[in-house]
């Protein structure tokens, strides 16, 4: 077993969890009084305009309700609540691609959010429950838009700017969005890039529900203007800086965020107001030891859940300073992040293993050139972190004094689930350690029996928690099937994450990766079915199967096994170019094939199911241990193996 690293105590001042006794005590409190403990935390951390009458209502499980009948406001929690005492403190520190900064106080944030809420209400007639699609770069207006939606009860659906127009269109249509908020584009690596053309293209093919497209001008590059377009900078000037707080029901929807599943159609994960914001705020405080006077930097994009919970909602609910960064970590050089840490005296830095591996590879000695002594906590998320990357992060970036929090969670969980608590949990490289207090994470077999120590089992959450996914937008059946169809515990269906995990003698949890047909490329989830559905669009292809192949930087890369209608009709290289063009148009650059092989057939069972596990073993160069006698043509395995060497 690898070495254990204890938190360096003197870097944490007045932490909530001083030592593991504090952790054990809170876990015990939850064990003894689950609902009451959540209720206490909700009362302490959220302002209730009208108190809730019941902490957890499971009468219609798994459609659970938290903090029933309570009235509150997420925008109030994130902005207005801080104005009396901390209005002049910095809420957002924006760093542009070119290195220029804007320091925005909570007072200024409030004014901008209010103006945006007035714009949405008065000009676009957005009402509670309307869906607003946000297709934006990492700029301040993206945050105003999200918070303005929260302020008026509109449901935002942020679509990552790297998704193609056709992926954007699917999400607009599924959510029946009334408004799309976008930008002309922004800057990356010193050059302007564009977003608006993708919106134009999406709008040109069936997005009838959209009444307006609000365009923010960031790079002022020429764009097409369409009848539904209007410009934020022109309309915002006349909007009032005040907006009367509207109080919402705890269970009113806050946002949708589309994520990949095991079918071709992305799922609109729905989060509701009170439970989500409670957990975003608590995990900020617990996991990162974040305090209002700190400066917190999460390098994610707001298009992912990490950006929602740990750039926008968690940090602002906790009244801290959150960094919004337009650029990329490697521009102008591999020291960019460390320069920013020094300049802004960052307390907590949160990124993905892919970025760590890339920064390690391209700038191993860069951290040494900067003063990183402000750092207390280094976080990772999205994929397993390998020991060499962990070691570099710990020793070279953290100078062997910062705690590393390897946070396991998902779009569906809203916030961290299994993670060290920076101020108290002893850590081990590559290990997510323990469930957070209140989270009943268990490694079990499908029938609920605990998986023995050291063996892979199903990572399930056996009790509801406040920031749990509420449903899949417009598809309750799929919600139940996707998350509650695989595992039971204590005789009841329980939430299965889709991830495998292992537990050790000290109850520490190590995540072993997805058990379903989802590939994790650079920490981004992408369903094999989605990719295969696009590949089918190529008229030369008869069938295909894609799997994840281990990759030095990306963690996993997409590897395609392609069966052609006419085997010799195209070369491998030309086919790859052709397929990647389709994938880029259909989904976006994150779905590109890293490598392909043209095969005569796929390993299929007699009922026609593709045995992806065999293909996964082949790309990893592992021996085939699966029983292949049930295959329609067992010989195909050795044929494919030969083609792959």
Q: Are strands 295-298 and 54-57 parallel, antiparallel or unpaired?
A: unpaired
DSSP string over 613-630: HHHHHHHHT----S--TT
Q: Which of 307, 384, 420, 466 binds ligand WTA (CB under 6 A)?
A: 384
Query: x-or-dash pattern for ligand WTA, window 554-573, by CB under 6 A?
Result: --------------------
Please state whether the peptide bond connecting residue 62 to the residue before it is cis, i.e. omega within 30 degrees of 0: yes
- Beta-carbon contacts of residue 488 (< 8 Å; ≥ 6 apart): 446, 447, 448, 494
460, 495 Cβ separation under 8 angstroms? yes
For ligand WTA, give the closer residue by CB, 51 or 454.
454
Angle at Cα 337 formed by Cα 334 and Cα 338, nearest 5°? 90
Q: Is 525 in the site for ligand WTA (CB under 6 A)?
A: yes
Query: x-or-dash pattern for ligand WTA, window 256-275, by CB under 6 A?
Result: ---x----------------
Six token digits for residue 392: 């570099």
DSSP state of 429: T
- Distance between CA atoms of residues 445 and 562, nearest Å: 34
CB of 235 to ligand WTA, least distance (A): 34
For ligand WTA, give the closer residue by CB, 152 or 269.
269
Q: How many residues bind ligand WTA (CB under 6 A)?
A: 22
Q: Which of residues 431-450 bind ligand WTA (CB under 6 A)?
A: 432
CB of 430 to ligand WTA, least distance (A): 8
Q: Is 411 in the site for ligand WTA (CB under 6 A)?
A: yes
Stretch that binds ligand WTA, among 144-152, 185-193, 302-310, 610-618 (CB under 6 A): 302-310
For ligand WTA, give the closer residue by CB, 289 or 499.
499
Stretch that binds ligand WTA, among 32-40, 140-148, 277-285, 409-417 (CB under 6 A): 409-417
Name the nearest CA neighbour of 256 among 269, 265, 267, 266.
269
For ligand WTA, give the closer residue by CB, 294 or 383.
383
For ligand WTA, give the closer residue by CB, 50 or 613.
613
Q: Which of 73, 105, 272, 306 binds ligand WTA (CB under 6 A)?
A: 306
For ligand WTA, give the closer residue by CB, 168 or 602.
168
Q: Is 408 in the site for ligand WTA (CB under 6 A)?
A: yes
Name the nearest CA neighbour of 173 among 224, 226, 143, 210.
210
Run of H or E including 378: strand 377-381
Q: Is 403 in the site for ligand WTA (CB under 6 A)?
A: no
Query: x-or-dash pattern for ligand WTA, window 448-487, by CB under 6 A?
Result: ----------------------------------------
- Distance between CA atoms of residues 218 and 156, nearest Å: 21
- Beta-carbon contacts of residue 337 (< 8 Å; ≥ 6 apart): 299, 329, 349, 351, 359
CB of 278 to ligand WTA, least distance (A): 18
- Distance between CA atoms of residues 534 and 523, nearest Å: 21
Q: Which of residues 483-512 bind ligand WTA (CB under 6 A)?
A: 497-499, 511
Q: How far is CA 295 from each of CA 85, 92, 326, 347, rounded to the nearest angstrom? A: 18, 9, 17, 5
For ligand WTA, give the closer residue by CB, 457 or 498.
498
For ligand WTA, give the closer residue by CB, 510 or 544.
510
Residue nearest ligand WTA (C-beta atom): 411
- Beta-carbon contacts of residue 318 (< 8 Å; ≥ 6 apart): 281, 284, 285, 290, 291, 292
CB of 523 to ligand WTA, least distance (A): 7
528, 498 Cβ separation under 8 angstroms? no
Stretch that binds ligand WTA, among 60-68, 303-311, 338-346, 390-398 (CB under 6 A): 303-311
Binding site for ligand WTA (CB under 6 A): 259, 304-306, 381-384, 406-411, 432, 497-499, 511, 514, 520, 525
């Amino acid at each position: 077993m690898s070495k254990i690293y204890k938190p360096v105590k003197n870097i944490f001042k007045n932490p909530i969890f001083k030592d593991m006794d504090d952790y054990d005590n809170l876990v015990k409190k939850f064990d003894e009084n689950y609902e009451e403990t959540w209720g206490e935390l909700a009362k302490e951390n959220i302002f209730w305009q009208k108190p809730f009458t019941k902490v957890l209502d499971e009468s219609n499980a798994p459609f659970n309700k938290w903090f029933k009948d309570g009235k509150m406001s997420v925008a109030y929690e994130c902005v207005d609540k801080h104005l009396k005492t901390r209005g002049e403190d910095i809420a957002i520190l924006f760093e542009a691609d070119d290195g220029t900064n804007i320091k925005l106080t909570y007072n200024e944030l409030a004014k901008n959010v209010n103006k945006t809420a007035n714009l949405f209400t008065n000009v676009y007639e957005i009402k509670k429950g309307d869906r607003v699609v946000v297709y934006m770069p990492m700029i301040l207006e993206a945050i105003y838009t999200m918070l303005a939606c929260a302020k008026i009860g509109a449901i935002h659906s942020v679509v990552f700017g790297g998704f193609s127009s056709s992926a954007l269109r699917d999400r607009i249509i599924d959510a029946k969005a009334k408004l799309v908020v976008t930008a002309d584009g922004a800057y990356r690596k010193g050059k302007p890039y564009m977003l608006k053309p993708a919106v134009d293209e999406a709008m040109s093919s069936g997005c009838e529900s959209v009444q307006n497209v609000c365009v923010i001008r960031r790079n002022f590059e020429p764009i097409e203007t369409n009848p539904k377009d209007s410009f934020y900078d022109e309309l915002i000037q006349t909007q009032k800086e005040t907006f009367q707080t509207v109080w919402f029901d705890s269970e009113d929807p806050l946002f949708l965020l589309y994520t990949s599943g095991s079918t071709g159609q992305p799922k609109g994960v729905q989060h509701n107001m009170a439970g989500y914001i409670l957990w975003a705020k608590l995990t900020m405080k617990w996991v990162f030891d974040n305090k209002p006077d700190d400066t917190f930097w999460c390098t994610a994009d707001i298009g992912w859940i990490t950006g929602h919970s740990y750039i926008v909602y968690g940090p602002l609910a906790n009244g801290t300073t959150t960094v919004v960064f337009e650029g990329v970590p490697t521009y102008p050089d591999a020291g960019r992040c460390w320069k920013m840490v020094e300049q802004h005296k960052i307390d907590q830095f949160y990124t993905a293993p892919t970025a760590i591996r890339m920064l390690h590879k391209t700038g191993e000695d860069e951290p040494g050139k900067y003063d990183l002594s402000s750092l207390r906590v280094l976080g990772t998320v999205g994929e397993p972190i390998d020991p060499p990357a962990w070691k570099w992060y710990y020793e070279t970036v953290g100078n062997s004094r910062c705690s590393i929090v390897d946070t396991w969670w998902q779009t569906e969980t809203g916030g961290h689930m299994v993670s060290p608590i920076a101020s108290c949990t002893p850590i081990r490289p590559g290990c997510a350690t323990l469930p957070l207090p209140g989270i009943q994470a268990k490694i079990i077999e499908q029938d609920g029996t605990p998986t023995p120590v050291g063996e892979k089992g199903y990572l399930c959450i056996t009790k509801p928690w406040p920031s749990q996914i509420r449903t899949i937008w417009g598809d309750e059946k799929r919600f139940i099937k996707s998350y509650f169809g695989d595992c039971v515990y204590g005789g009841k269906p329980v939430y299965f994450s889709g991830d495998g995990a292992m537990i050790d003698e000290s109850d520490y949890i190590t995540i072993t990766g997805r058990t379903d047909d989802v590939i994790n490329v650079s920490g981004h989830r992408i369903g094999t079915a989605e990719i295969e559905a696009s590949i089918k669009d190529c008229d030369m292809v008869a069938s295909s199967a894609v799997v994840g192949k281990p990759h030095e930087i990306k963690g996993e890369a997409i590897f395609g096994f392609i069966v052609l209608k006419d085997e010799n009709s195209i070369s491998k290289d030309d086919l790859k170019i052709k397929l990647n063009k389709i994938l880029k148009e259909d989904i976006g650059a994150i779905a590109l094939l890293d490598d392909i092989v043209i095969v005569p057939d796929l390993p299929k069972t007699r009922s026609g199911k593709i045995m992806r596990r065999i293909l996964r073993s082949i790309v990893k160069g592992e021996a085939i241990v699966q029983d292949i006698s049930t295959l329609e043509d067992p010989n195909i395995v050795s044929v494919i193996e030969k083609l792959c060497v």
